[in-house]
Amino acid sequence: MNDQTVSRQTFDEVMVPCFSPAPFVPDRGEGSRVWDTAGRDYIDFACGIAVTSLGHAHPELLKVLHEQGGKLWHIGNGYTNEPVLRLAKKLESLTFADRAFFANSGAEANEAALKLARRVAFDRHGEQKAEIVSFTQSFHGRTFFTVSVGGQPKYSEGFGPIPQGIIHLPYNDIDAAKRAIGPQTCAVIVEPVQGEGGVIPADPAFLRALREACDAHGALLIFDEVQTGVGRTGTFYAYEQTGVTPDILTTAKALGNGFPIGAMLTTEAIAAHFKVGVHGTTYGGNPLGAAIAHKVVELISDPAVLAGVRARGETIRAKLAHLNARFDVFKEVRGQGLLIGAELNARFAGRAKDFNGAAANRGVMMLIAGPDVLRFAPSLIMPAADLDEGFARLEQAFEDVVGAR
């Protein structure tokens, strides 16, 4: 076989089968549109799972990629570099944080956060204070530690003994949290909006209760903003809308607009427990990724862009209401900004994949969040014409599944 001749079938022949990709193969993208290898175009409501938040082939990001790519890609953490220092300063200027640690993904950022929380508790209180509190249906990554902390057992079962000292509580259940968080707790990790778990926003009172319980028992509060961060919910980080400040925040996905980069942000006092050699990374904080991320942060933190996120979110909700008025498919639409979940009603329970497949057939790339939820995470700067076209195609896809009405 000519190794240059590849198709969707090639995936089944050469790749580890842990994914089941769509039948078409995306080839190029521009803005909020993607073209496959056959030249067919798609409206992108998925953004690579909330990643390409400035769309595809953004000219200012391409410029940074070429400029930094011609200077220095990688140097290793025996040295520092100017782009990563600028990025750290920029993120700290926008948040509660004084210190940053850079990695390659959200899972690695969460791994660092959880290790740091354990280390802080060990140094301050001793080895008995090691319990991590998480929540059912949460998702924190695919490393063995983060997948064990995540509240979806289907992802951690079948790999042998899991790390100990992890408990899972019902999300948004204040009483359960107050009962469980105690002197043994070293950290509580929570998503301000559960993404993979069904696009479920946290009740601000629930987050306040977690903050109070952590303070009462000397535990650290970790916000996993891998999916909600970098403008997705209408503020630069979702915690800004909650009235609660975490001790550690993790961020990735949109941070590099598709270039792999993640970060853990925290305070000076907490960061001090990661002394030289205690944790590390080879690629994390490389100058190429940091330069791109700095431009992403600069563009998305613009108040006009964030206001646009909120406005587009309302537009999508209105369009979903129109679809529901015609087809009667949704039980509830929820989320924040441009992270929106539309839960199917009982008539269509378990059929999210059917809608997703029909959308692709009509030229729309979108997501699901479990078997019952259609998830929308489009570009934060999606042009109105693309948004309108996407929903016109989606209406046809709904006709395909439900029938004309």
Structural domain harbouring 46: 8-57+303-402
Please, which pLDDT band fits residue 1 given cuts at 50, 70 and 90? very low
> Would you say residue 374 lies in a domain?
yes
pLDDT for 70 equals 98
Provide the annotated binding site for pyridoxal 5'-phosphate: 106-107, 139, 224-227, 282
Same domain, 278 and 219: yes
**Mean pLDDT, rounded, for 284-305:** 98
Amino acid making up residue 182: G
Q: Name the average pLDDT for the chain.
A: 97
Q: What is the pLDDT of residues 195-207, one digit of tens each?
A: 999 999 999 999 9
The answer to pTM > 0.95 is yes
> Is the confidence at residue 160, as pLDDT, over 60?
yes
> Is the confidence at residue 405, as pLDDT, over 80?
no
**Mean pLDDT, rounded, for 65-89:** 97
> Is the confidence at residue 342, as pLDDT, over 50?
yes
Same domain, 200 and 262: yes
> Is the confidence at residue 382, as pLDDT, over 90?
yes
Same domain, 95 and 192: yes
Q: Which residues are catalytic?
A: 139, 224, 253
**Mean pLDDT, rounded, for 86-96:** 98
pLDDT for 288 equals 98
Same domain, 41 and 166: no
> Is the confidence at residue 3, as pLDDT, over 70?
no
Q: What is the pLDDT of residues 35-60, one digit of tens each?
A: 999 999 999 999 999 999 999 999 99
> Is the confidence at residue 93, as pLDDT, over 60?
yes
Same domain, 87 and 193: yes
pLDDT for 403 equals 86
pLDDT for 259 equals 98
Provide the annotated binding site for N(2)-acetyl-L-ornithine: 142, 281
Residue that finishes a domain, picked among 270, 300, 330: 300
Q: How many domains does the chain have?
A: 2
Q: Which CATH number do you get for residue 378?
A: 3.90.1150.10
Same domain, 164 and 291: yes
pLDDT for 4 equals 82
Q: Which CATH number do you get for residue 216?
A: 3.40.640.10
Distance of CA 339 to the CA centre of its chain: 10
> Would you say residue 327 lies in a domain?
yes
> Would you say residue 2 lies in a domain?
no
Percent of the chain with pLDDT over 90: 98
> Would you say residue 94 lies in a domain?
yes
pLDDT for 320 equals 98
Same domain, 98 and 183: yes
**Mean pLDDT, rounded, for 217-245:** 98
Please, which pLDDT band fits residue 308 given cuts at 50, 70 and 90? very high
Same domain, 323 and 239: no
